[in-house]
């Protein structure tokens, strides 16, 4: 089958933006061919860097990248500049370009706490908590609604920074109802949340996440050791007991660049 | 059971930060009690705003929030200021505080394309594509590796902006292998990716996401009608055919504030 030359349809051609309401006029012009080429190459290189595709994290030379992607030197440099701005790579004169950090991939079922973590999982004794708070307080309004209790019902707030290789990667605030709270109250917290639940003799059936993203505010930036405005994953988690009653609501902020969540869906007719 | 007063353990007390490497000295002091109180309230209010808890998106008054959360006026105002900075709420003199946008919640299995979408799902004819590119080109290196083919093997690049209620909410670049590419090549693209696959007669078995977050660069910001630096969800997706062969790799950038992904994990011993 012959390869036709890439037909890079102009963004503006033939399809006028019908969403003028939210796009400032003239915006589409600035996102022309060059911008899309850079973004596409950035997406591909980002996936390679984040996925640990390059041995020892060392990226190929500009010339190699140009050849492998049919890209101009300007496009390669612009794509690398975006990754550097994002803090994912560093370029050192005479040494080359390398990935700053290899993120840990975590399967979503492990993050949900509903399966036994793999040997090399972040959820297999790889984390260490630094507790910020463990206190009993009346459940605030929204917390109460999500946990299906009356506002003011006592709950245990357990808040911690999750450390991985001594670096803060997440901060989580859990609101736990009684009687589970009583079991957690004095149990030593040694690695991750699910280990704490297990050590406290608390069983769970289901765990639900709502995924979102947010910019780090000053407090989160300070706690996580990152710049203000850095994108974070914001997760809300509800954990259910064996009777399907939610007993734990958590607000979790994770450093996206430190780990990635992997989720796999299988067609039910095939599984 | 008596409620003990909230014991707000100081961040520094007793547990010196062992991660001095990435936290500038003195950082922990700046994230003191006030900062954590504001963040906790922000987390709770953010969940309420994002979850559509307030009728007509109208937030309670400052006085009501103070009472419901046992918070000072300064804490309530600081938490609301953070949500306003994030672009989630607007405050109008004499009118009150309201949510700017109600995000659409999307279940992860629907986003994976492996189940029939619910009636009100975003994946049930709720989206419309604006195509940016549909062209055949040699697969770039990393794309080839992920799709387990030789670099340079022809593939179809199909790129589009996903519109919801005429607003751009995501941009996706798909690299599709032949023979599937041949079926997709001339099929009209009318709503979402899974509808396009179905209309092309292409079946899928599995779909895998890697979740990440990133700041919007200039091009993404222009295409999505948002400010540069706004946090986005970055997803890599691999779609598999009925024989378990990956035939489609996509790089997807979604506006986190427009929709949220909901994922539920069930303990296998219970399901």
Burial label, B24 (beta-carbon count in 10 A; 0-12, 13-18, 19+): exposed
For residues A155 and A247, what is the distance between their CA atoms, to the nearest angstrom?
9
Give residue-wise pLDDT tens across range B4-22: 333 333 333 333 333 323 3
Tell whether A208 is within 8 A of chain B (Cβ): yes
Predicted confidence at residue B25, as pLDDT, reads 32
pLDDT at A12 over 50: no
For residues B110 and B103, what is the distance between their CA atoms, to the nearest angstrom?
16
Mutate to test the interface with B, among A219, A221, A254, A259 (most CBs of B within 10 A): A219
For residues B255 and A94, what is the distance between their CA atoms, to the nearest angstrom?
38
Q: Which of A47, A206, A220 sits opposite B236 (nearest CB)?
A: A47
Residue in A with minimal Cα distance to B259:
A212
Tell whether A258 is within 8 A of chain B (Cβ): no
* List of residues 6+ apart from A225 with CB closer than 8 A: A167, A168, B19, B22, B23, B24, B27
* List of residues 6+ apart from B26 with CB closer than 8 A: none
* CATH of B27-99 given 1.10.10.10, 2.60.40.420, 3.30.1280.10, 3.40.50.300: 1.10.10.10
Contacts of B38 in chain A (CB under 8 A): 219
Contacts of A220 in chain B (CB under 8 A): 39
Predicted confidence at residue B270, as pLDDT, reads 59
Predicted confidence at residue B8, as pLDDT, reads 37
Give residue-wise pLDDT tens across range A176-228: 999 999 999 999 999 999 999 999 999 999 999 998 899 999 999 999 999 99
Q: How far is B92 from chain A (nearest CA, A)?
A: 21
Tell whether B240 is within 8 A of chain A (Cβ): no
B21-27 average pLDDT score: 32
Residue B265 contacts residue A108 (beta carbons within 8 Å): yes
| DSSP 8-class letter at A58 | B
Predicted confidence at residue A33, as pLDDT, reads 56
Contacts of B242 in chain A (CB under 8 A): 270
Tell whether B218 is within 8 A of chain A (Cβ): yes
Q: Chain A, 183-202: which have a CB under 8 Å from a chain B CB?
A: none
Q: Taking the CA atoms of B67, B69, B72 and B74 in sequence, report the sign of the dihedral they define.
A: negative
* Cβ neighbours of B241 (radius 10 Å): 17
Contacts of A219 in chain B (CB under 8 A): 31, 35-36, 38-39
Give residue-wise pLDDT tens across range B60-116: 999 999 999 989 999 999 999 999 998 899 988 888 999 988 778 888 888 888 888
Tell whether A264 is within 8 A of chain B (Cβ): yes
Give residue-wise pLDDT tens across range B30-74: 344 578 999 999 999 999 998 888 988 999 999 999 999 989 999
Predicted confidence at residue B42, as pLDDT, reads 96
pLDDT at B2 over 60: no
Residue A232 contacts residue A220 (beta carbons within 8 Å): yes
* Strand-pair category, B231-240 with B246-255: antiparallel
Strand partners, A175: A157, A249
> Is there a contact between A225 and B108 if contact means CB atoms under 8 Å apart?
no
A16-21 average pLDDT score: 32
Predicted confidence at residue B122, as pLDDT, reads 81
Contacts of A238 in chain B (CB under 8 A): none
- Give start and end residues of each alpha helix (H) in chain A: 27-30, 33-50, 62-69, 73-85, 108-112, 141-146, 180-184, 193-199, 218-224
Predicted confidence at residue B101, as pLDDT, reads 80
pLDDT at B27 over 70: no
> Is there a contact between A112 and B265 if contact means CB atoms under 8 Å apart?
yes
For residues B163 and B150, what is the distance between their CA atoms, to the nearest angstrom?
34
Predicted confidence at residue A110, as pLDDT, reads 87
Give residue-wise pLDDT tens across range A69-84: 989 999 999 999 999 9
Tell whether A244 is within 8 A of chain B (Cβ): no
* In chain A, where the domains are located: 27-99, 104-262
Q: How far is B139 from chain A (nearest CA, A)?
A: 8
Strand partners, A206: B266
Token look-up 């929204």 returns A142
Predicted confidence at residue A2, as pLDDT, reads 39
Nearest CA among B94, B109, B72, B247 for reference residue B177: B247
- The superfamily in CATH containing domain B104-262 is Chorismate lyase-like (3.40.1410.10)
Tell whether B102 is within 8 A of chain A (Cβ): no
pLDDT at A17 over 70: no
With bands split at pLDDT 50, 70 and 90, how would you rate the model's confidence at A264? confident
pLDDT at A1 over 90: no
Backbone phi and psi for residue B54, each to the nearest 5 degrees, phi listed first: -95, 125
> Is there a contact between B215 and A86 if contact means CB atoms under 8 Å apart?
yes
> Is there a contact between B265 and A206 if contact means CB atoms under 8 Å apart?
yes
Give residue-wise pLDDT tens across range A120-175: 888 887 899 999 999 999 999 889 999 999 999 999 999 999 999 899 999 999 99
B254 vs B119, higher pLDDT: B254
């Amino acid at each position: 089958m012959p390869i036709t030359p890439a037909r890079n349809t102009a963004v503006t051609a033939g399809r006028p933006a019908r969403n003028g309401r939210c796009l400032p006029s003239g915006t589409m012009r600035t996102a022309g061919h060059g911008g899309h080429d850079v973004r596409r190459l950035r997406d591909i290189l980002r996936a390679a860097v984040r996925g640990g595709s390059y041995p020892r994290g060392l990226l190929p030379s500009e010339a190699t990248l140009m050849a492998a992607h049919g890209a101009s030197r300007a496009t390669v440099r612009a794509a690398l500049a975006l990754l550097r701005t994002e803090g994912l790579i560093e370029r050192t004169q005479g040494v080359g370009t390398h990935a700053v950090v290899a993120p840990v991939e975590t399967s979503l079922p492990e993050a949900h706490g509903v399966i036994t973590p793999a040997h090399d999982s972040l959820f297999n004794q790889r984390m260490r908590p630094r507790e910020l708070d463990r206190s009993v307080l009346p459940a605030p309004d929204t917390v109460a609604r999500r946990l299906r209790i009356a506002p003011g019902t006592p709950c245990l707030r357990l808040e911690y920074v999750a450390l991985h290789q001594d670096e803060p990667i997440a901060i989580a605030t859990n609101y736990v109802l009684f009687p589970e709270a009583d079991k957690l109250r004095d149990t030593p917290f040694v690695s991750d949340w699910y280990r704490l639940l297990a050590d406290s003799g608390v069983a769970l059936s289901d765990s639900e996440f709502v995924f979102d993203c947010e910019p780090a505010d000053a407090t989160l930036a300070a706690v996580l050791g990152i710049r203000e405005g850095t994108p974070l994953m914001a997760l809300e988690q509800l954990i259910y007991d064996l009777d399907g009653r939610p007993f734990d609501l958590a607000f979790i902020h994770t450093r996206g660049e430190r780990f990635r969540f992997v989720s796999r869906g299988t067609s039910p007719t095939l599984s």
